[in-house]
Structure 1
Amino acid sequence: MAIPNTKATLLSYCKRQLGYPVVEINVDDDQADDVLDDALQYFTEYHYDGTLRTYLKHQITQAEIDNQKTNTDVVSSSSGGSDSGATTWKEGNNYIELPEAVMSVVKVFTFTDKSTNNMFDLRYQLRLNDLYDLTSTSILYYEMVQQHLGMLDDILVGSPFMRHSKHGNRLYVDMDWTNSIAAGEYLLIEAIRKQDPTTFTDIYNDVWLKKYATAKLKLQWGQNLIKFDGIQMPGGVTLNGRQLVDDAKEEIIKLEEEVRLGYELPVLDMIG
């Protein structure tokens, strides 16, 4: 048996699981393509192997900095109030376009690099004066100091506020674009992005995905046959699309419960 490594080979695998070529699978090619796309989308949304935590950097251009200072008019017509007609609002264009594969942004990093401050950095001075006899003292104190310094850094410096929606592919960074960053510097973000199955072809051979895609294909097959439900074919065979639909729905419910309980990453308290 060939290991699925493309959408076409995954479709062939699913059909074989349903009885093909012994049994004719009455599903159109476009329908089958939609079924696999839906299965891959669900896999990406809820399976931890469907996404990857990554770090992306983008070099800021002067044109982008200039664009942050502009606004877009948002016109809204009021109804049911005391005023009539349209009202105009202005929305800042303080955003950067993101790749479509980015599903969520976890953090925007500050632009100062503490590792380049050398002797003028407080952490550097602590390491310089304390590390030589660190083996003779408890590391607990050093860890507590580092956590305290990190808290002070969050309070006094902090990170830029950001907003993001995966359907808009825009990262809004609420900061002073004139003084906080210059053209040529980099914007660094921690993000969750989709795994591209055309690049990482082993995704098509995932055990859960194969079962889920097969169940979705069975559901589509049953929905196609429902219109002929109860019709007796030559030889006495009676079509029963309703049974296929019921069986497929039961399998899909179990598989979705399995992925949500066993393969989904913990839900974050806040996603930008």
Structure 2
Amino acid sequence: MATPATKDALKEHCLRALGKPVIEVNVDPDQCDDRIDDALQYYAEYHMDGVERMYLKYQMTSAQITRGSTDSTTNVTDSVDNTGGAYAWLEQKVWIPLPASVISVLRIFPVTDHSTVPMFDMKYQMRLNDLWDFTSTSMVNYQMLQEHLDLIDHLLTGEVPIRFNQHQNRLYLDMDWPNEIPADQYLVIECYRKLDPTTYTDVYNDIFLKKYATALIKKQWGANLIKFNGVSMLGGVQMNGETIYSQADEEIKLLEEQLLNGYGLPADMMIG
């Protein structure tokens, strides 16, 4: 029981940290489950060990490409002068579904493969001209050439514009699907995905998660008792839920500050 590997084991660990069974912790089991779910959600969204950086691929079928060329319609009317009738706004269905565990999309790799270019491609000829003999060619020149070619490709071709919101579970690809995406082509994205604690059970034993879940349950305990503040019990002991609530609130703020300063992922230049 000292090393929690399930949600129930983590709940018991937190309750023992608050004094169970020596003292009664006045929190309903459903409330404990809710607070642990809150802790897991916060852990996955902000802790660097709560997510994994990975690559996912998705095959674009002909049916998907056809759907991407159609529009969805939203009809609106003016709230003041609606004599003009409904105004139809169109939105192209240029999105693909993503798993709910994906919380951030960093980029999508180019749809076309530049490594299999024809013989008369400009890049192929420049490499052939500059690298005919590796023994006499400086790698510095080669690196500068590659950076220059990458800049040209970025200016003339550019990257695929993407939009992503984790609550939609959709990745929008703002491009001409029928003309730019071949049928049965695989799209590869770089993203962050939440770790599933039921699969990777070591998540439940994370030191921050245990402290944070304990503090959330302690705050719930104080919230349950705060309306009985000052009520005398047998023996003259008075309930003081406000103190428990305040202590837990300070612990939560301190833990969240420590997480953002020491355990969080650095901010990316652009996400989605």
C-alpha contact (below 8 Å) 1:119/1:125 kept by paired residues: no
C-alpha distance in 2, partners of 1:229/1:17? 23
Q: 1:182-261 alignment to 2 at 5 Å? A: 182-261=182-261
C-alpha contact (below 8 Å) 1:110/1:158 kept by paired residues: no
CA RMSD in angstroms comes to: 2.1
Change (3 A) 1:83 1:266: farther
Q: Are 2:113 and 1:113 aligned?
A: yes
C-alpha distance in 2, partners of 1:47/1:110? 30
TM-score (norm 1): 0.92
CA shift at 1:157, angstroms?
Answer: 2.2
C-alpha contact (below 8 Å) 1:101/1:193 kept by paired residues: yes
Moved more, 192-201 or 6-15: 192-201
Q: 1:1-272 alignment to 2 at 5 Å? A: 1-80=1-80, 85-117=85-117, 122=123, 126=127, 130=131, 132-134=133-135, 138-272=138-272
CA shift at 1:7, angstroms?
Answer: 0.9
C-alpha distance in 2, partners of 1:109/1:90? 28
C-alpha contact (below 8 Å) 1:162/1:171 kept by paired residues: yes
Unaligned runs of 5+ in 1: none
1:193-221: CA deviations, max 9, x gaps? 11111111111111111111100000001
SS at match of 1:42: helix
Change (3 A) 1:169 1:255: same
C-alpha contact (below 8 Å) 2:131/2:137 kept by paired residues: no
C-alpha contact (below 8 Å) 1:233/1:239 kept by paired residues: yes
C-alpha distance in 2, partners of 1:33/1:85? 50
SS at match of 1:14: helix
Identical residues among aligned pairs (%): 50
SS at match of 1:172: strand
CA shift at 1:226, angstroms?
Answer: 0.9
C-alpha distance in 1, partners of 2:124/2:56? 26
